[in-house]
Amino acid sequence: MKKVLYILGKLSDTDIEWLAEMGEKEQLVAGSELITQGQESENLYFILGGEFKVMIAGQAVATLGIGEILGELSFLDSRPPAATVVATKASRVFAVPKEDLNERLEDDEGFAARFYLALGVFLATRLRGTMSQFGYSSDKPLDEDQEYADEIEAGLLDDVSLAGARFDNFLRRLEDA
């Protein structure tokens, strides 16, 4: 779940309220295809519950759960998705229409700066995790002077507590809606 904290820690309360108002909750059953490789997706998705497999050419390459974001790469580079994303069990997502998001980014420079910074930190964290899965990290015992790929950076720790509270509030608000 910590990945969503990178996003919510950089956005303002007003930004998060806007996202909550613009998006919609979606329920998916096991086997539902949320994103199809090569086909444009209209939404950016936040996983609220459940589990998803990321598939490339029929091969599972990742399993994602609560707090992850889906469709972010296609959102950034405007290319069709490079992977298919399938719910492996009953799951919930929060879908934010890319069209509405793009309008907000064009109209509000502050939101744009915070959103792109948050997305950049999120993607950097995901890339570091991927690199460690492929053996680009050490399996030695933990060294407190060493920084590890899945470790929250000291500069982001201030944001994490606030982001956790924001995510809890976000989930509560969606449950009430």
The pLDDT value recorded for residue 147 is 54
Q: Specify the CATH number for the domain of residue 156.
A: 2.60.120.10
pTM given for the model? 0.75
Six-digit token string for 146 = 């060493």
Q: Examine residue 34 and state whether it is found in any structural domain, yes or no.
A: yes
Q: Examine residue 42 and state whether it is found in any structural domain, yes or no.
A: yes
Q: Examine residue 49 and state whether it is found in any structural domain, yes or no.
A: yes
Q: Which residue has the tokens 């700066």?
A: 113
pLDDT of 152-176, one tens digit each? 555 555 565 566 667 677 677 777 6
Whether 98 contacts 105, CB under 8 Å: no
Q: Is the pLDDT of residue 57 over 60?
A: yes
CA 49 to chain centre: 12
**Owning domain of residue 79:** 2-137+147-169
Q: Is the pLDDT of residue 37 over 60?
A: yes
Q: Is the pLDDT of residue 49 over 80?
A: yes
Q: Examine residue 176 and state whether it is found in any structural domain, yes or no.
A: no
DSSP state of 142: P
Assign 3-state DSSP to the chain and report helix, strand, coil percentages, each to 5.
45, 25, 30
Q: What mean pLDDT value characterizes the chain?
A: 83
Non-local CB neighbours of 26 within 8 Å, separated by 6+ positions: 92, 93, 94, 95
Q: Examine residue 151 and state whether it is found in any structural domain, yes or no.
A: yes
Q: Examine residue 32 and state whether it is found in any structural domain, yes or no.
A: yes
30: amino acid identity, one letter: A
Q: Which has the higher per-residue pLDDT, 69 or 129?
A: 69
Q: How many domains does the chain have?
A: 1
